[in-house]
Structure 1
């Protein structure tokens, strides 16, 4: 038995101990390096770790064993261990953390895909879950109206749902990408939603729309600043070509007094053509029209009691 074979078998045995039905993956090399400070963490090379993890996952799948993937966050893990008073340098503690991730965190089912293909999706899903958790917490903090006792979180969510419906109806047919941002801490709450609309029917992800409305509702409930931008693509027949060409329209709304109010075309242009990091102007994109947002009807219940 060669040393390479023994090392490979040893790695598989270690992975079996580390995966209690859900694999909490160290997708980032920096996160992997952070875990190496623990004596009981048995891996030394990130590429080697991912390669053997993928092999192990495929074996489990071939044997009919279902496995979910979650992201292992060393910082969150250390805080988790401190909160529960358990030792972080322990296989059992890592297994306990992973089990809690399976119950409460973002996960994706593994079905034999290459990890290189699945991990970016897992990172994206984990980010969405984090935004939803923060937005839901922020929304719940709104409490009740001191004048009438109304649950402000429920009424704000109803307003956000109404605003999204009006937005989608007003944008019309096409493919729309909407982003809602609320500066409620660092980082700010940010939710994206992709919608395809045709003849009044809207096709969209329920989870994305839930997060979008929760973020918007958090801004409405606390009457904080914020904004919504949309970018719509409608195929238009070209007179010179047999194919179609895409023509995009950008619009925007600012959250004022708990309701999205339309931006002017100049304000939309400024929003899209300014570097958000440096504040420097950037060239406008080709074939993108910067158009004023359209008014959204403010429901009566959005007024103060």
Structure 2
């Protein structure tokens, strides 16, 4: 009997290692304070809460094959409970919500890193996810062109992808850091992309980052509003090079060397000049061309 019981326990432990674990994390004091209104949430001190979460993560990582952390948003949690008819003052509801948000993809795998390293990455991924969802909703809501019947959002995304590929191809070898900034109706959309290109090798980039970047750029193209892209290229033994483009009627127009210098060396709040960054060259943007057959829609 004892051997049978031990075998069963061993099998359960083996099964437990195959079950992933997910922890919903309240990253700041404000979110933590919002959850204290629920009696079933027993923590009273945020630093102690974070300490206990870190201990839990270490324990889970030894018991599970894979442990992830998701950002727990109290306001979104309350909305989720209203929509699903769940009692928000319940650990079961919190668990279900955590599973739902983890399924959306904005998570960080726990591999033993300290929380002060994990949290910034988690926040960054959550912001990227929210930006992509918002940009996608904007593109989906524009509808079809009244003249040609084409889906404006889809056409804008195709054009954005073409211009992004053109930019990467023309940038040449090096480590490239791209930033796209587009003002939208409710918020400033920002996308960042890192690309590494060898002298005789194709560009290497994260496919998710690339899709997010193209989606944000597509919003600016579809709305034919302001916005722009900046590119910083680093290569060995040479100064970093900064270039820029502005959106005009759905196309990226290269900035001159003087415009790039002015954009980087002017305080955005006061308009006062700033000192140039040491070891950096300010260069004009290069022509990206325009994909055929995709004129701006009105």
> What TM-score, normalized to structure 2?
0.86
Where structure 2 has 5 or more consecutive residues not aligned to the other structure, the ranges are 1-19
Residues 23-66 of structure 1: CA deviation (Å, up to 9, x unaligned): 11011122212222222211011121111212122212212353
The residue aligned with 1:158 is: 158
Q: 1:102 to 1:145 in 2, by over 3 A?
A: same
Using the alignment, how far apart are the partners of 2:281 and 2:203 within structure 1?
23
Where structure 1 has 5 or more consecutive residues not aligned to the other structure, the ranges are 1-19, 237-245
Cα shift at 1:108: 1.9
Matched, 1:121 2:121: yes
Matched, 1:188 2:188: yes
Using the alignment, how far apart are the partners of 2:34 and 2:224 within structure 1?
40
Do 2:21 and 2:60's aligned partners in 1 also have CA atoms closer than 8 Å? no
The residue aligned with 2:29 is: 29
Cα shift at 1:71: 0.5
Cα shift at 1:93: 2.5
What SS does the aligned partner of 2:34 have? helix
The residue aligned with 2:262 is: 270
The residue aligned with 2:222 is: 221
Q: What CA RMSD, in Å, does the superposition of the two structures yield over aligned residues?
A: 1.9
Q: 1:278 to 1:101 in 2, by over 3 A?
A: farther
Using the alignment, how far apart are the partners of 1:173 and 1:38 within structure 2?
55
Q: How does 1:282-301 map to 2 (within 5 A)?
A: 282-301=274-293
State how many pairs are aligned.
277
State which drifts further: 89-98 or 166-175. Answer: 89-98
The residue aligned with 1:172 is: 172
What SS does the aligned partner of 1:228 have? strand
Q: 1:145 to 1:138 in 2, by over 3 A?
A: same
Q: How does 1:52-91 map to 2 (within 5 A)?
A: 52-91=52-91
Do 2:222 and 2:296's aligned partners in 1 also have CA atoms closer than 8 Å? no
Q: 1:194 to 1:65 in 2, by over 3 A?
A: closer
Q: 1:283 to 1:120 in 2, by over 3 A?
A: same
Do 2:21 and 2:64's aligned partners in 1 also have CA atoms closer than 8 Å? no
The residue aligned with 1:260 is: 252
State which drifts further: 204-213 or 100-109. Answer: 100-109
